A and B are shown apart, each in its own frame.
Chain A
Amino acid sequence: MHIKENMKMADVIQMNYMLIPVIHRFGIELGFGDKTVAQVCKDSVVDLNFFLQLVNAYHDQDYFPKEELQTIPVREIVAYLKMTHASYLNNTVTEIEQKIISLEQEGSEDKKYIALIRNFFEGYKTELTDHIMREEDVVFPYVLAVDEILKTEQFTGKNKEVFESFSIEKYEEEHDDIEEKLMDLRTIMIKYVAPPANTNLYHSIIQDLFRLEEDLNYHSRIEDKVLIPKIILMEKSIKNLF
């Protein structure tokens, strides 16, 4: 079922709780009573169309808003993706790391195994950070340059350089899945390690890993299904323009 503007925001969240962090990134807080999606967006000064495309792409794997793509402002998408990145690095990943560290500090005979898990997770964190930095340093500036060229219909020295140094096709190719290591970690924790004394904490780490993986999946879908197709169209328009 697609999320529509006249639905109650509360019903949307009841339908898919994974959207809680998503609306939070838009600056929308819970406690919206019976307000519809449209009203909540208006109150929080959020672009309604963009919001709908985004939550639907999150919510439904097969959702692909072909026509609507044209109307979503690139700046909004980039700003949103950046917010997501920040929330991964500053909150989610750090929280999981903290949990692993406190598990390790409880010190038991399993200490050695927990150290292995911590090392592994730190390796993952580095990989994720690199991945995110690459997007923020190379991909997003490129995307914004494409947007600027198309809007002003002219090249400047700066945006021409950025435009020629990269293409969204390159990004599509290199956009590997950063979830592989995450999946490995939870497989190891579920299949191959006997849980330490503090099973509650151990279980909650596994659940966090599942949630992070799911959220990352959603996140990549926005990049692959909303951002990339839109930029491909824009690249074509630029080629036709000049």
Chain B
Amino acid sequence: MPRISILIAESTCLIRKGLSSVIQKLGNVEILQSVSNKVELCDVVNRLKPDILIANPDMLDSNCEDLKKPFITANKMSLILISEDKSIEAKYNAEAFVHYKDDQSKILELIEEIVNQKAEKNRTNKSNDTLSSREQNILKHIALGLTNKEIADQLFISIHTVVTHRKNITQKLGIKSVSGLTVYAILNNLISMDEVK
């Protein structure tokens, strides 16, 4: 399962580091980076594309609503806000709020819920990890040592399609090299050992 990436934007070092060490306790998350100033934020988000942004409203531009709409949705991020003051819940529109006085289990619970939602969404997007029959067929050709071009010609599809299939196969199986894919193909009886050159 791919890990959910989190970006923390908070100017106070103590909170930033503290929050990040609390979040580390969740198994399937990865803290990309911590951002400590406003200017960097947009740039870092665009570059790293985190699944979840945890930010202190001070870090956002004065009009958070502005940021929420185009920026957050365009990046398909979930927004969690950190604050000392409970009144921000009325002011801003975020999926969750972390307050300074929350204890560890509360924070974890809240973030875990959003992480799980995200993970669920990612999973349904990518259907499942078993290969489709088309992919099995392509894999067979790869294992036989054919190049992308040769596969495209034989199956009457474009090279681009072959490349896309290859990418998906590698992602599903977790195997990158041709020789690794060949071993997989033999183990799963897609080809026999004698067919391999």
Contacts and interface: CB of A to CB of B under 8 A. Distances in A.
Nearest to B181: A184
Contacts of A20: none
B187 A180 contact: no
B187 A184 contact: no
A26 B175 CA distance: 36
Interface stretch (A35-43, A87-95, A98-106, A111-119): A111-119
A133 interface: no
A116 B180 CA distance: 10
Given A187-B174, A187-B175, A188-B175, A181 B186 contact: no
Given A187-B174, A188-B175, A191-B174, A181 B183 contact: no
B104 interface: no
Interface residues of B, number: 13
Interface string B165-186: 0000000011111011001101
A120 B177 CA distance: 11
Mostly, the B contact residues are helix
B146 interface: no
A123 interface: yes
A216 interface: no
Interface string A119-136: 010010000000000000
B187 A116 contact: yes
Nearest to A191: B174
Contacts of B174: 187, 191
A193 interface: yes
Contacts of A123: 179
A90 B177 CA distance: 25
A232 interface: no
B188 to A, nearest CB: 8
B187 A188 contact: yes
Given A187-B174, A187-B175, A181 B180 contact: yes
A191 B172 CA distance: 12
A117 B180 CA distance: 10
A183 interface: yes
Given A188-B184, A192-B184, A192-B187, A120 B179 contact: yes
Contacts of B180: 120, 181, 184-185, 187-188
Contacts of B183: 116-117, 120, 188
A184 B186 contact: no
A112 B183 CA distance: 11
Interface in A165-221: 180-181, 183-185, 187-188, 191-193
A184 B175 contact: yes
B187 A193 contact: yes
A193 B188 CA distance: 10
A187 B173 CA distance: 9
B33 to A, nearest CB: 12
A180 B179 contact: no
B48 interface: no
A185 B176 CA distance: 10
A180 B193 contact: no
B186 A116 contact: yes
Contacts of B175: 184, 187-188
9 contacts: A116-B183, A180-B176, A181-B179, A181-B180, A184-B175, A184-B176, A184-B179, A185-B180, A187-B173
Interface of B: 173-177, 179-180, 183-184, 186-188, 193
Give me the 7 closest cross-chain CB pairs, A-B, nearest first.
Answer: A184-B180, A187-B174, A184-B175, A181-B177, A184-B177, A116-B183, A180-B176
